[in-house]
Structure 1
Amino acid sequence: MFRPGHYGVALAAYAPVGGLLLARGHPTAAVAGGAGVLWLTMLPDWDHRVPFVAHRGPTHTLPFAALVAGGAWAATNAAASATGLAGHAVEPVALPAFAAGIAALAVLAHLAADLLTPMGVALLWPVSDERYSLSVTPADSTLWNYALFALGVFATAVAASLGVELLTGGSP
């Protein structure tokens, strides 16, 4: 999948989270989480820039998603401790857990988008080299990439609208 398709799947995956954060009165967290998901969703494709790492190899696996989430947790925990924000939370979770969840969701959204392509991904590497694919569309399909992007934008708009409506008690 290309960048627009990945962004669309990431937006669609994050939409319920963002809507819930809005409904619970955390608009800053909703926007920051959405920005984080979009920023990190292309991280698995950095394998193009790393010598001796195959595309859709180790960076397109569940262990990589866990590694990125762990790194986000550690970095946020260190930053929160250094800045005096260690006790802050995005109800009901602490900032490091929120960051880890956003990071994991971003990578998992990337994997989900690549599952749609015939090449698929080896989700369980290094335990198994088996590639999983739904084989719905080639990665370079302009139609599918922009349709997924449109779906993500639509899902985000609906979730944001519902979140604000729930927050305000039904009055726009």
Structure 2
Amino acid sequence: MKKIDRFRSKKGFTLIEVIAGLLITGILMVAVISVFLMSQKIYTRGGDISYKQKSITNIETELQNAIATATDIKIETSKPGVGAFYGIGFNEKGECVEVINGDEYKTDQITEISFSVSNGNTMNYEIVPKHEMSVLKGGIVMNNIKGAILNTQLNGIDKKGYLVITLVN
């Protein structure tokens, strides 16, 4: 009897208590890790969307600045040369290219661009991003051009070419 009392009076954990504690700890760790991985996926996706929006907004800003001071607009099959030119379109490889004074900048974020002129001096544009989450539409008054006629669509598949804008020197 004394042996049983001495055995029961010892302080410590039984094997079942240790296993139960490890099991609860393991379940909590799995839950925390799954929440962390899900938040990483959301963060990465948000970063990708933000990059796409910034790229397209930068191109839109350059296009608006060029159109506002343009002296001539036309569609060409080759990129504009060096000089006071701005161009945007798709090269022979189907890549969207922005050309500013002869310097070429490629973006993989745009799949299609549409241009049309209304009232002879208002350029309307539509920029379609990759995966078509949304479409960026806008318009700007061409201060130096009156009576222009233009209605075209460019893409990297079958309608390659450039909108070439001659800028004020």
TM-score category by the smaller chain? Answer: under 0.3
- For normalisation by structure 1, the TM-score amounts to 0.27
**Which structure has the larger Rg over C-alpha atoms?**
2
Q: State the structure with bigger RCO (CA 8 A, min sep 6), 1 or 2.
A: 1
